[in-house]
């Protein structure tokens, strides 16, 4: 089973904590031990937002801010690689070919951002389509997609399941500025719609949530189920 995991910066590196990074790396190693082929895409987290807000104050434009964000995601990729030992491609992939080649060799691939105007959510969706993944998992700061930000609105309601077209509709009004917060960005939603990729969005603060979802199909987040997706049997295909 081939899986792409998007580890949001808010779960991997809200601030720098080596134990947190090691916890996520342990889960990735266990998934590899269970026979999963893995591509991992990491976000920028608090450090990226600090850099972006400082540069915005100085007068940087949105593309410059995105470039700063991308650089930080690549540093976070190196941090996760450092925690993953021997079974990982030691260099963060700069594009989808590099990531795909590493995965085909049997290595875990880790990458950050690739180009301005998007976030690592879109990178993960593109990588999942490129390597023909069975499953795409977003480990983020909320337990799925809600009708409002659940960290801001007390009675926000979760969508247990969405079609890819519904996902696009829910995500479309959210901000696209550098450093903006959304569980999945609009380009990611459109790529998921185009590819029909089976996708889960879940709260990744506890790294074992990803393991439960991938190996056992157990999670409390949002399932994005393409038309004709049928029963989610992917975890039985390992
Ligand atoms: N409709 C929504 N549903 C879920 N989360 C939302 C929504 N709107 C805003 N958010 C916020 O988006 C955050 C995820 O964005 P971000 O912090 O950039 O995550 P990540 O680091 O995982 O990419 C969530 O923690 C939540 O506070
Ligand atoms: O392909 C990419 C990936 C990231 N970014 C920039 O880097 C920031 C941090 O990445 P991301 O939002 O994925 O991090 P997270 O929200 O997970 O901390 C984004 O807001 C963008 O400004 C970008 O421009 N292109």
**Residue 9, annotated as binding a ligand:** yes
Tens digits of pLDDT across the chain (238 residues): 999 999 999 999 999 999 999 999 999 999 999 999 999 999 999 999 999 999 999 999 999 999 999 999 999 999 999 999 888 999 999 999 999 999 999 999 999 999 999 999 999 999 999 999 999 999 999 999 999 999 999 999 999 999 999 999 999 988 666 666 789 999 999 999 999 999 999 999 999 999 999 999 999 999 999 987 655 544 444 4
Cβ-contact 120, 41 below 8 angstroms: yes
What is the pLDDT, as a whole number, of residue 235?
47
User: Closest Cα to atom 17, ligand 1: which residue?
Assistant: 181
Q: Is 205 exposed, middle or buried (0-12, 13-18, 19+ CB in 10 A)?
A: middle
What ipTM was estimated for this complex? Answer: 0.98
Phi, psi of 63 (to 5 degrees): -70, -40
Ligand 2 lined by 179 (C-beta under 6 Å): yes
Parallel, antiparallel or unpaired: strands 222-224 and 199-203: antiparallel
Within 13 Å and on the Cβ side, how many CA atoms surround 145? 27
CA of 215 to the centre of ligand 1 (A): 24
Structure tokens at 238: 């390992």
Structure tokens at 122: 């879109």
Pocket residue to mutate for ligand 2, from 43, 67, 203, most atoms within 8 A of Cβ: 43
Residue 103: which of 145, 41, 13 has the closest Cα? 41
pTM for the full predicted model: 0.95
For 2-236, give the CATH class: alpha beta
- 178 CA closest ligand 2 atom index: 22
Question: How far is it, in rounded angstroms, from Cα 119 to Cα 70?
Answer: 8
């Amino acid at each position: 089973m081939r899986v792409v995991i998007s580890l949001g910066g808010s779960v991997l590196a809200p601030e720098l904590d080596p134990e947190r990074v090691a916890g996520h790396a342990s889960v990735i190693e266990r998934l590899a031990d269970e026979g999963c082929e893995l591509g991992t895409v990491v976000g920028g987290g608090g450090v990226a937002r600090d850099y972006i807000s400082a540069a915005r104050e100085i007068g940087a434009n949105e593309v410059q801010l995105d470039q700063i964000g991308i650089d930080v995601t690549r540093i976070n990729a190196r941090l996760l690689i450092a925690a993953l030992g021997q079974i990982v491609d030691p260099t963060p992939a700069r594009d989808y070919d590099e990531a795909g080649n590493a995965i085909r060799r049997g290595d875990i691939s880790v990458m950050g951002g690739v180009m301005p105007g998007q976030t690592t959510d879109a990178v993960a969706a593109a990588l999942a389509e490129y390597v023909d993944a069975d499953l795409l998992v977003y480990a983020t700061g909320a337990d799925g997609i809600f009708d409002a930000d659940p960290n801001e609105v007390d009675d926000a309601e979760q969508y247990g399941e969405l079609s890819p077209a519904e996902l696009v509709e829910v995500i479309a009004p959210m901000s696209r500025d550098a450093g903006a917060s959304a569980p999945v960005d609009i380009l990611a939603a459109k790529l998921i719609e185009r590819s029909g990729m089976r996708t889960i969005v879940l709260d990744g603060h506890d790294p074992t949530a990803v393991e439960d979802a991938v190996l056992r199909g157990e999670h409390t987040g949002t399932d994005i189920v393409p038309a004709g997706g049928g029963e989610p049997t992917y975890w039985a295909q390992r």
